[in-house]
Amino acid sequence: MSALRILVPIKRVIDYAVKPRVNKAQTAVETAGVKHSMNPFDELSVEESVRIREKKSAPGGVEDICVISAGPAKAQDVLRTAMAMGADRGIHVEVKEGDDLEPLAVAKLLKATVEKEKSNLVILGKQSIDDDAAQTGQMLAGLLGWPQATQASKVTFGEGDSVEVTKEVDGGSETVRAKLPMIITTDLRLNEPRYASLPNIMKAKKKPLVKMSLSDLGINNERRLKVLKVTEPAPRQGGGKVEDVDGLVAKLKELGAL
Partner 1 sequence: MFSVAARRTALHSRAAATSAFRSPAALRSFLSSLAILEQREGQLNHGSLSAITAAQKLGGSVHAFVAGGGVKSVAEEAAKIDGVEKIIAVDNAAYDKGLPENFAPLLVENIKKGGYTHVLVGHTAFGKSLMPRVAALLDSQQISDITAIESENTFVRPIYAGNAIATVESSDAIKCITIRGTAFPAAEIAGGSATIEDGVDSKTESTSEWVSEELAKSDRPDLATAGKVVSGGRGLKSKEEFDRVMLPLADALGAAVGASRAAVDSGYADNSLQVGQTGKVVAPQLYMAVGISGAIQHLAGMKDSKVIAAINKDADAPIFQVADVGLVGDLFEKVPELTEKVKSS
With respect to partner 1, which residue has the nearer C-beta, 76 or 138? 138
With respect to partner 1, which residue has the nearer C-beta, 80 or 167? 167
Task: Supply the minimum distance, in Å, between the C-beta of residue 63 and partner 1.
Answer: 23
Asked whether position 244 contacts partner 1 by CB under 8 A, the answer is yes
Give residues 96-155 in contact with partner 1 (rule: CB under 8 A): 102-104, 107, 129-143, 145-151, 153
Task: Supply the minimum distance, in Å, between the C-beta of residue 8 and partner 1.
Answer: 19
Task: Supply the minimum distance, in Å, between the C-beta of residue 247 and partner 1.
Answer: 7
Of residues 59, 129, 117, 131, the one with CA closest to residue 87: 117
Asked whether position 34 contacts partner 1 by CB under 8 A, the answer is no
Distance between CA atoms of 173 and 94, rounded to whole angstroms?
38
Strands 162-169 and 148-157: antiparallel
With respect to partner 1, which residue has the nearer C-beta, 83 or 182? 182
With respect to partner 1, which residue has the nearer C-beta, 202 or 252? 252
With respect to partner 1, which residue has the nearer C-beta, 211 or 223? 223
Residues in Cβ contact with 69 at an 8 Å cutoff, skipping those fewer than 6 apart: 9, 10, 11, 12, 75, 76, 78, 79, 90, 91, 92, 93
Task: Supply the minimum distance, in Å, between the C-beta of residue 45 and partner 1.
Answer: 15
Whether residue 180 contacts residue 173, with contact meaning beta carbons closer than 8 Å, is answered with no
With respect to partner 1, which residue has the nearer C-beta, 34 or 210? 34
Give residues 178-237 in contact with partner 1 (rule: CB under 8 A): 178-179, 182, 187-189, 223-233, 236-237
Residue span 149-178 as binding mask against partner 1, x where in contact by CB under 8 A, dash where not: xxx-x----------x--xxxxxxxxxxxx
Whether residue 115 contacts residue 219, with contact meaning beta carbons closer than 8 Å, is answered with no
Q: N- to C-terminal Cα distance for the chain?
A: 60
Length of the chain in residues, anyone? Answer: 258
Asked whether position 33 contacts partner 1 by CB under 8 A, the answer is no
- To which H or E segment does residue 251 belong? helix 245-254
Of residues 35, 13, 33, 31, the one with CA closest to residue 21: 31
